[in-house]
Amino acid sequence: MDSVNPATGERIATYEADSDDIVESKLGTAANTFDEWRDRPLREREKLLASAGDVLRENEETYATLMTREMGKPIAQARAEVQKCAWACDHYAEYASTYLESEHHPSPPGTTVKTVHEPLGPVLAVMPWNYPFWQVIRFAAPYITAGNVGLLKHASNVPGCAQALEEIFREAGYPEGVFQTLMIGSSKVDGVIEDDRVRAVTLTGSGPAGRAVAETAGRNLKQTVLELGGSDPFIVLDDADLDAAVETGVLARNQNNGQSCIAAKRFIVHEAIYEEYVDRLVSAFADQTIGDPMDETTDIGPQADPDLMAALHEQVTASAEAGATVRTGGEPLDRTGAYYPPTVLTDVPEGCPADTEELFGPVAAVYKVSDAEEAIDVANDTRFGLGASIWTADRERGERLANRINAGCVYVNQLTKSDPRVPFGGIGDSGYGRELSGPGIREFVNRKTVWVE
């Protein structure tokens, strides 16, 4: 497996893939470790997770640099990702006992009835490259602390991050086998899912990958959580604070070089403020600094892979040919590296790629609507349902409209985000199940009823 810097096209390192024998050995280790790990007191598991948070903080610059070199995110954002991972460890170290506390139920006199939460076993995580540390910690922190053990199949373009994540848990003092990285390609994932020792699967990635994993897991009656793509609406109503809606809109679309499932992708703007908002948004997009992701002043680094950038440009080109207007950007930069500029499309016709597909890069599709009713109709006119953002000075109005949007999460006057304190996940083609908070940690446990007469 080659690690290639998308900013330069240079190979950073080459990693040896795991042979079938090594995979078999790791699966055996996971199963054996689970038998002991599940009986470790929860308080001890919480303390180890707190230690993992300390390891993350102590090595922040090393891990941030590794992320930036392997997938191109600006270094400041990479540091923020490491910090967020440490925060998630802190959160579950403090609250896992609360989330997993037994639930007592009404019962006849003299009886005790409760639901206890017991771990399932080895959990396979198929994770993406766009947030190479956060996506992994987001699954590992809760599931491992609940008593499961983790097997990571990371994206093939971030092998260095995959190995570093395993080292974090080792340095934190976890027993061997609680968290292991499988250095395998996608073609071997089905075989791992089918193995009797693997009890559940979580995936963050594309729709086709999610369907493939769900199909294999379903045949084998194994639980799954899928967080797939999104085409999140960013609704700007006539009474919105335009300064905040522009500033946050730029960040919500372009952070992580625009490569985020919950990025603002469809900007739905009330006609009363449409022209002003679009002019300001276009100006702000054009002002973004594109360059070396290791430079502290860079806003937008390269796309993670030249092929991904080419696919994004095909979507933009097809949308323009269908009638969309390119207001800024729209062409790959003529320079070394997979650089695509922040792009704004207006007059987006129904059915073109910008209207119906996920644009996984710094491209915003903008729609004009006549009122809040039409805004909701446009927001819901998608097969995706991950997140949404609504901007209005009337918080009650925002909450009423939020209840009508078909999505897993809706933020009013805030960008869509994942936060360890609240559940996260989607509906429709954006997947199912929840990560984070109490519902997240309880996804992969046996909710066992215990009746004592």
Q: What is the pTM of this model?
A: 0.97
User: What stretch of H or E contains 22?
Assistant: helix 20-37
Catalytic residue among 70, 81, 227, 435, which? 227
Q: What is the pLDDT of residue 218?
A: 98
The whole-angstrom separation of Cα 177 and Cα 169 is 10
Confidence of residue 30 (pLDDT cuts 50, 70, 90): very high
For residue 180, what are the β-bridge partners?
Answer: 151
Identify the burial level of 366 via C-beta atoms within 10 angstroms of its C-beta, where 0-12 means exposed, 13-18 middle and 19 or more buried.
buried
Catalytic residue among 261, 357, 435, 443, which? 261
Q: What is the pLDDT of residue 110?
A: 96
What average pLDDT does this structure show over 402-421?
A: 98
Confidence of residue 343 (pLDDT cuts 50, 70, 90): very high
- For this structure, is 247 an active site residue? no
- For this structure, is 227 an active site residue? yes
Q: What is the pLDDT of residue 14?
A: 97
The whole-angstrom separation of Cα 70 and Cα 255 is 17
pLDDT in tens, 235-276: 999 999 999 999 999 999 999 999 999 999 999 999 999 999
| DSSP one-letter code for 253 | H
Domains by residue range for the chain, with CATH: 2-228+428-452 (3.40.605.10), 232-412 (3.40.309.10)
| Phi and psi at residue 23, to the nearest 5° | -60, -45
Write down the mean pLDDT value for the chain.
98
pLDDT in tens, 115-126: 999 999 999 999
